[in-house]
Structure 1
């Protein structure tokens, strides 16, 4: 299923909203002199950059095969998700560096007004909408890039909440809160990046998609199948999986063997669609006890 048009639409909408949020944070951060809010604005810069990266990535991530990419192009999207993790790592470093410099070198006191806090509340509402919007559509169309970006935006929600509490504290006279809260903000950003990496590496390194025992139990129920072995799978269930196996069949002619393998393929595709199944047929005399490699 080619979901790129839907993904592009969501990315364009969220890009416009993220640019608006980034501008508000930068303006309020500049007016107040808040280190944590300026760091949060930097985090929002990565939100916008991620949307642009996603738009570029989805252009090349067609699930349909071609001559140069016979297995499709979905890994482009996973690569894009790892790019998001890289942006998060950069943001984490910048936040910590700014906080340490403020502690060592000092700086102007932070000044906050009630209208500025209300603007941050508006920013928070937009971030929450973007996170749930992206995650909902991402899960519906099985888009790695949207789900990864939703994780990033959700980290932005917690960052903004932390910054708001810090600025409320500054408003009440506790100047040190602005610097102290810059560190947990950095940790939240780092955790978000690690989550994106953890969810996308299996796709890129061809980790097993389906337990070979599960595939074996489905194949062996087909009449005419004596045994199946050397089972392998990769991809992501629900998005695209590739299954390979050797099948020992009870058949006296090629046509019968073909019909048996067609039934095995049909059952596997029904269970794990979309799936591409490759079966190597072997005669009844062949024996092997190795279900997987």
Structure 2
């Protein structure tokens, strides 16, 4: 593992740890106040924060697995462990959303309980903290190209959305109880149902994107311009016949075919291929390069 990879691992691990401890604290606070204030929406929100703990632990495990070096069974490394972790977190997020919705439907048949105003303060505190966690982890995930951290960040953002919905629902229930407006007293329950739909939709999108990336997704041509230039500038490379940069978790593996003078020796062709690999592997995001050397054939116009 080079210096960049080691630094990256330390930063994304820190992000996962912050997520774990932050979610534990928020889940405890929201659950206790939700029980004290008789707020179903806040208790549901606490369950969502608790699920984030599981997600952040899964991210931590995935990050540790992804940093393992290549071996006989995994010659391309273990980078996809982070992408697989992102899929697991998305599934967990969907399950939590479904459970919140199911509980909301069940609670609609129960006697309406107007929550206490203390629930409002807990929700406001949760919104501020979770939004800060989302922004921190999203920037971290983008900077270090960690799908697991990005998905976990959106897990935090889903908590912000659910807390806003809970805030509206709790406020409506309190207002309905204070002014005897019956339909408003159901705001707390309806907010829980809305939150569940929002979370499941987000989970579906995140899971779909992660599955797309785990299926040997290649970078688009516009994303590989600098890489191709590096290869083309190597002395002896007459043409780049094929260039595929495959995303393998947070790093890239390149398959490239180059055209060289057909009259040079095999050893000289091998040396040119080696220089191409060295020029590409110096780039931070590139983990490995596989070079195939072809005899260059200049095409004549028909």
Q: Structure 2: which 5+ residue stretches go unaligned?
A: 177-183
**Matches of residues 1-293 of structure 1 in structure 2 within 5 Å?**
1-2=5-6, 3-62=8-67, 64-103=69-108, 106-173=109-176, 174-211=184-221, 219-220=231-232, 222-235=234-247, 239-250=250-261, 251-269=263-281, 273-284=285-296
Would you say how many aligned residue pairs link Structure 1 and Structure 2?
284
Structure 1 residues 255 and 281, CA, compared in 2 at 3 Å: closer, same or farther? same
| Cα pair 2:39 2:116 within 8 Å, conserved | no
Rounded to whole Å, the distance in 2 between the matches of 1:119 and 1:225 is 63
Kept in 1, the 8 Å contact 2:214–2:248? The answer is: no
Residues 91 and 207, structure 2, Cα contact 8 Å, conserved in 1: no
Structure 1 CA distance for aligned equivalents of residues 101 and 271 of structure 2: 63
1:140 to 1:218, Cα distance in 2 relative to 1, 3 A: closer
CA gap 1:63/1:286 in 2 versus in 1, 3 angstroms: farther
Q: Which has the higher mean CA deviation after the structures are superposed, 216-225 or 189-198?
A: 216-225
Q: How big is each residue's C-alpha offset from its partner over 1:136-185, in whole Å with a ceiling of 9 and x where there is no partner?
A: 22223222221110011001101101101111111111212122222321
Pair 278,41 (structure 1): closer, same or farther in 2 beyond 3 Å: same
**C-alpha contact 1:95 1:186 (8 A) present in aligned 2:** yes
Is the 8 Å Cα contact of residues 216 and 247 (structure 2) preserved in structure 1?
A: yes
**TM-score, normalising length: structure 1:** 0.85
Stretches of structure 1 that go unaligned for 5 or more consecutive residues are: 288-293
- TM-score, with structure 2 as normaliser: 0.83
Cα separation, 2, equivalents of 1:12 and 1:222? 43
Q: Is the 8 A contact 1:222 1:264 kept in 2?
A: yes
Q: Is the 8 A contact 1:209 1:236 kept in 2?
A: no
